[in-house]
Structure 1
Amino acid sequence: MPPTSETLTAERILEATEEVLRRHGPAKATVVDVARALGVSHGSVYRHFRTKAALRDAVTKKWLDRTFDSLSGIVAADDLDPEARLRAWFTGLFAAKRRKAGDEPELFATFSVLATENGEAVGQHIADLTGQLTRIVQAGVDAGTFTCADPATTARALFHATGRFHDPGYAREWEQPGVEGELEAVVDLLVRGLRARD
């Protein structure tokens, strides 16, 4: 039985929107398509998301947040020393981005278009990720493992230095042979630079 507007939630709308985007792409997907997939009127969708742009922004944010959420456990892993956490975080980030690009290339391309349209969501995503990195760097400074004057600035520098392994613009390179070793070499170099000197 199709859902009624009373049982319709923002989460269900976002799930349906992602499926519609998967089928039609960003240029052809409409709010009417989303409403049809849910068995409701497009007015019911607009009660949760006032505009098509708001709906696209919300689904883009949800898609980007999955990467952040997948890395949260690494950031909180107090049983790992900060250096191991930093290495695991970059490996996890690369794996999450590569999985998105490789498992559903059409959806990845769709969300790349949406992310370009929604600079605010992308900016927040980068701030969230560098916030996670800042926590790891700060833990390293507190433990005497890392040395740096400003963990937040250092985290942003680390993020940008590894851009080839998480920026969607490099997605075509992520399946090249040896790319994991290249990431490891870059992270090794960065970690050596962070280590506290005796």
Structure 2
Amino acid sequence: MPPEPLTPEDILRATEDVLRRYGPAKATVVDVARALGVSHGTVYRHFRTKAELREAVTRRWLDRATGELAAIATGEGPAAGRLERWLRALFAAKRRKAVEDPELFATYQVLAQEQRETVSRHIAELVGQLTAIIEAGRASGEFAAGPPDAPAAARAVFRATASFHKPSHAAEWSAPDVQESFEAVSALVIRGLRA
């Protein structure tokens, strides 16, 4: 029976393992190919360059949280509750990655610096989800009408909560009072949006 064909997902999983083992400075496409038991040319058939492979891995890592967040943003229920669940889910996802796999988290911080365009698209998607929640809250009368408009308010919410999702703050996420701080900031932000 012939072996299963190699998929881009297989390559991305192997790349993640190689990055975890060697770090972004030393990991090579040859290392990924070796981990898969194929030639590096086989990897290049799916990803034309090392940079393209690193971008795909970064995008995959960032997208893992967005599905859950998108479901919350477009879900049912009061906007304030959805916003609170969305902020909580984002913080939990980022903190889980930093705590459960610190080597890979550190690697992705390096990759994110390289992949600024990918990170910018990811942030735009997250701000778009926040915008949808705020617009729904304004439409229902739960949140006050602007100014600022919903996209500007969403960007403000994202920035106001940055210490709970921006990777450069990861060292603070294990502080004993971090959950209490998160609850206080989240409540303050939601109170500021209410009608």
Separation in 2 of the partners of 1:97 and 1:190?
Answer: 20
Q: Which residue of 2 aligns with 1:159?
A: 158
Structure 1, unpaired ranges of 5+: none
Separation in 2 of the partners of 1:158 and 1:20?
Answer: 36
2:134 to 121, 137, 141: 137
Superposition deviation, residue 165 in structure 1: 0.5
Q: Which residue of 2 aligns with 1:76?
A: 74
Superposition deviation, residue 32 in structure 1: 0.5
Matches within 5 A, 1:20-59: 20-59=18-57
Q: Which residue of 2 aligns with 1:9?
A: 7
Could you tell me whether the CA contact under 8 Å between 1:14 and 1:58 is conserved in 2? yes
Per the normalisation by structure 2, the TM-score is 0.95
Separation in 2 of the partners of 1:191 and 1:106?
Answer: 34
SS in 1 for 2:24: helix
Could you tell me whether the CA contact under 8 Å between 1:2 and 1:38 is conserved in 2? no
Separation in 2 of the partners of 1:118 and 1:2?
Answer: 37
User: In structure 2, do the counterparts of structure 1 residues 161 and 10 end up closer, same or farther at CA, with 3 Å as the change threshold?
Assistant: same
Cα RMSD over matched residues?
A: 1.4
Superposition deviation, residue 2 in structure 1: 9.3
Q: Which residue of 2 aligns with 1:102?
A: 99
Separation in 1 of the partners of 2:62 and 2:139?
Answer: 30
SS in 2 for 1:148: coil
Counting matched residue pairs gives 193
Separation in 1 of the partners of 2:23 and 2:191?
Answer: 44
Matches within 5 A, 1:88-99: 88-99=85-96
Separation in 1 of the partners of 2:110 and 2:145?
Answer: 37
Separation in 2 of the partners of 1:154 and 1:27?
Answer: 38
Superposition deviation, residue 69 in structure 1: 1.7
Per the normalisation by structure 1, the TM-score is 0.94
Separation in 2 of the partners of 1:3 and 1:18?
Answer: 22
Q: Which residue of 2 aligns with 1:120?
A: 117
Superposition deviation, residue 189 in structure 1: 1.2
Structure 2, unpaired ranges of 5+: none
Letter in 1 for 2:19: L
Separation in 2 of the partners of 1:119 and 1:171?
Answer: 19
Q: Which residue of 1 aligns with 2:188?
A: 189
SS in 2 for 1:26: coil
Identity among equivalent positions (%) equals: 60
Q: Which residue of 1 aligns with 2:169?
A: 170
Separation in 2 of the partners of 1:3 and 1:58?
Answer: 24
Separation in 1 of the partners of 2:168 and 2:92?
Answer: 16
Separation in 2 of the partners of 1:148 and 1:61?
Answer: 34
